[in-house]
Structure 1
Amino acid sequence: MEPPQDGDPQGRVLVVTGGCGFLGSHLVRLLLEREPELRELRVLDLNPDPAVVPPEHGTKNVIRGCRAGGVPVLIYTSSMEVVGPNTRGDPFLRGDEDTPYPVRHSEPYPLSKAQAERLVLEANGATVAGGGRLVTVSLRPTGIYGERHPLLQRLYRGGRALGGWLPRTLPPHAEHGRVYVGNVAWMHILAARAARLRPQAVGGECFFCYDASPLAAYEDFNQLLLGPAGLRLIGRSPPPRPLLELLAWLGVAVGRVLPGHAPLLNPYTLAVGSTPFSVRTRKAERSFGYQPLFPWERARERTLEWLRGLGSNQ
C-alpha cells in the first residue's frame, strides 16, 4: 500500500502488510535497497489466525482502510492457485492471463484467495479520502522458493533426519513453474511504480509472476536446491496412485487427531503436485517492464547458502 504523501515531495511512504513473513521480509529488504524515492517504510504483521479472520475479511478491511486513509495504490499478493490446478487435474502449460481454463475450487486457500483478489480488482477506481482514485493490482506468483521458505526448510530438516534421503511421492512428469522470492518482491515494486505513474495501464489488472527458474516436476525442482545441500531423492517413480491417495487421507486424519500438525501430503497437495501447471509473464513485461532481478544461478546460490546455514546450525 502507498499512503498519501502528506505534502512531502521528497519521498514516498509505503506500507507492507505481513512484512515479517517469508515474502514480506524480502519485499521490505528490497524496498530499502531498490526504491530511491522511499521516505518512510511502515511494516505491519498482525499474523491473524485464518480460521478466525478469513483472508477475504482481512482484504475488505484493507480496502476500507485505503479508502478512508486516502491511499492511492494497493498491490495485492494473490496466487496462481486462484486459477488452478483445478480439482480435475487439468494441465495448464505455459499459459497466460487469457488462457482458458476451467477453474474449480474445493479447498479453503485457493477459494479465499480468489474471493480476495476479486474484491481488490473490483475496488480499482474507488474514491478515496481527499478525492483521489484507488489503483489496485493483483500479482499471482507461481510456487515461490528462496531463503526462509517454510516448506523448503521443513523438507531439508526432514531429509537430514532421514539420513540425507527424501522419498519421491509425486509424478516426475508434471511440469511446474517456480519463482524466486526476490523476483516476486521485485515485481511488487515495479507494479507499484506503474500504478502510480501509469494507472490506466495496470489498474484493475492481474499478472502472473514467474522468472527464468527451470520448469520441472515439483520434487525434481526441489532437488536442484536440496541436492547440492546434501539430500538425495529416492526412486525414479512414486508409489502407486491408490497408495498415495490412501496416505494423503491418512495425513488428513492425523492432522485432525493432532491439532497443529500439518502433513506435507494431503489430497490437495497431491493434486497440485501431480498436475502440470506453468505460466508466462509477458503481460507484466509489456505493462510495466518486468524482468527478473535475480537470474536463476543467483537465486539458486542464495537459496543454497541459506540451506547450508540451516545444516551448520543443527
Structure 2
Amino acid sequence: MASGEGRVCVVTGGCGFLGSHLVRMLLERSADLSEIRVFDLHLDESLETLGSDKVRVRLIRGDISSLEDVRGALRGSHLVIHTASLVDVWGRVPAAKVTEVNVTGTENVLRACEEEGVRFLVYTSSMEVVGPNLYGDPFYRGNEDTEYRVCHNQAYPLSKAKAEKLVLEANGKKVRGGQTLYTCSLRPTGIYGEGHGLMKDFYYQSLRTGGRVFRAIAESVEHGRVYVGNVAWMHVLAARALQDRPDTLGGQVYFCYDSSPYKSYQDFNMEFLSSCGFRMVGSRPLVPYFLLYLLALLNALLQWVLHPVCVYAPLLNPYTLAVASTTFTVQTDKAERHFGYKPLYSWEECKRRTIDWVTTLDKEGKKH
C-alpha cells in the first residue's frame, strides 16, 4: 500500500468467512500498516493473537447499523475494507434486517468516512448484484461490461446492488479536511474455501443421506467459483492500488476470479467431498425440473404459513433453484490490467487447502 507511518486499516465484518481470511492476508502482505482494526458484532478473539510488534490487530465489537459504532471504529484510519454483510436468500432472517445491515450499514460507513476524513474504501460486493436472474438467462464468460437483464426479488441481491451503487456514487466526494474519498467495488462469484458455512451445510446434509449426493441440476450448468484466499489477495491489491492510482480504480467494479473450474454447484462441491468418500448419484438429474420447482414453491408456501410461529428456511426455494439452475461464469482480466492481480493460489493449491479443511469436518462428523 502507499508508504507512510502509522497507517490504520479497518476491516468491517473482519471475523466473518472472508473477513478473517482478509485480516490474515493483510498481516502477511501489507508491511506498512501499523494497525488492523477488526470491526464486527461477534468477535473472534484468536485474531487478536495474530498481531505483532509491527502490526497491531485490534478487535472492536460494534453494530454496522449503528452510525456511532462505525464512526468510532473508523476514527483515525486511512483505509476501510467493507466486507460486513448479511447473506441470506433462504428467509432465515427478516428482509428488513438484511437491508438494514447491507444498505444502512454501508450508508453508515460512507458517512463515517466523510466525517472522519477517511480517504479510501474498498467494498465487497457480490456477483448477485448482476445475477443469475430469475428468468434463467445465462451469463456465459461475461465481464464487467457485459449487458445482462438484472431481475431479483430477494432482499440480499437487492440490498447489495443498492449498497454498491452508493459506494460508487461516493467516489470523488469530499471528506473532512478537504480530502477526496476514493472507492471501488469487488464482486466475488461463489466463494469457497476453509470455513465456508454453506459448504459445511452441504457436507452435513450429504452425511445424513449416507454420503450420497443426489444429482438435482444438470452437469451442463456452470458457475464461476473463486477461492477465498484469492478473493482476500485481490482486496489487498485493490486497496494498495486505490491509494497509489486512485484515478484508475476510483469508481470501478471488478469481478473476483481465479483458475477454479466452471462446474455446477453440486459437481464443484464434489471436488472436495469425494475425498471423504461421498459420491454423486445419477449422471442426469434424478427429479424433473418442474417437480423441483413445485417443491420450491411448496417450501415458499410453507415458509409463509409457518412464519408467525417458527422460522422455516430450507435451502431450496424458487430463488435458490433459479440461481443453481442458471449458468453464470466470468471471464475477465480487468483486475489484472488495472492493478496487476493474478491468483495467489493455483487451483491445485485451492483444492488441497479446501480438502484439508473438509477432512476435519469428516473426522468431526464421524465422532457424532
TM-score calculated relative to the size of structure 1: 0.94
Query: Matched residues in 1 for 2:139 and 2:355: separation?
Result: 29
Query: Matched residues in 1 for 2:253 and 2:284: separation?
Result: 36
Query: Matched residues in 1 for 2:255 and 2:317: separation?
Result: 26
Please report the RMSD computed on the Cα atoms of aligned residues, expressed in angstroms: 1.8
Q: Which runs of 5+ in 1 are unaligned?
A: none
TM-score calculated relative to the size of structure 2: 0.80
Q: Secondary structure of the equivalent of 1:42?
A: strand
Out of 35, 38, 42, the position equivalent to 2:37 is: 42
Query: Matched residues in 2 for 1:264 and 1:227: separation?
Result: 21
Q: Trace 1:268-307 onto structure 2 (pairs within 5 A).
A: 268-307=319-358
Q: CA deviation at 1:54?
A: 4.4
Query: Matched residues in 1 for 2:20 and 2:12: separation?
Result: 10
Out of 241, 258, 270, the position equivalent to 1:194 is: 241
Give the AA of the match of 1:249: L
Query: Matched residues in 1 for 2:332 and 2:229: separation?
Result: 16
Cα contact 1:209–1:281 (8 A) shared by 2: no
Q: Trace 1:63-102 onto structure 2 (pairs within 5 A).
A: 63-102=110-149
- The answer as to 2:170 corresponding to 1:119 is no
Q: CA deviation at 1:254?
A: 4.0
Higher mean displacement: 141-150 or 246-255: 246-255
Q: Secondary structure of the equivalent of 1:27?
A: helix
Query: Matched residues in 2 for 1:226 and 1:175: separation?
Result: 18
Quote the residue 2:23 is aligned against.
28
Quote the residue 2:87 is aligned against.
none
Q: Secondary structure of the equivalent of 2:275?
A: coil
Per-residue deviation, residues 41-71 of structure 1 (Å, max 9, x unmatched): 0001126676332411111111001111111
Q: Secondary structure of the equivalent of 1:228?
A: helix
Query: Matched residues in 2 for 1:54 and 1:26: separation?
Result: 21
Cα contact 2:4–2:32 (8 A) shared by 1: no
Query: Matched residues in 1 for 2:218 and 2:7: separation?
Result: 47
Q: 1:11 to 1:301 in 2, by over 3 A?
A: farther
Quote the residue 1:51 is aligned against.
96
Per-residue deviation, residues 247-301 of structure 1 (Å, max 9, x unmatched): 1122224444274443111111110111111012311110000101111111111
Q: 1:254 to 1:233 in 2, by over 3 A?
A: farther
Quote the residue 1:167 is aligned against.
214
- The answer as to 2:362 corresponding to 1:311 is yes
Cα contact 2:275–2:359 (8 A) shared by 1: no
Cα contact 1:89–1:274 (8 A) shared by 2: yes
Give the AA of the match of 1:132: Q
- The answer as to 2:5 corresponding to 1:10 is yes
Quote the residue 1:19 is aligned against.
14
Q: CA deviation at 1:161?
A: 2.0
Quote the residue 1:141 is aligned against.
188
Q: Which runs of 5+ in 2 are unaligned?
A: 43-62, 64-92
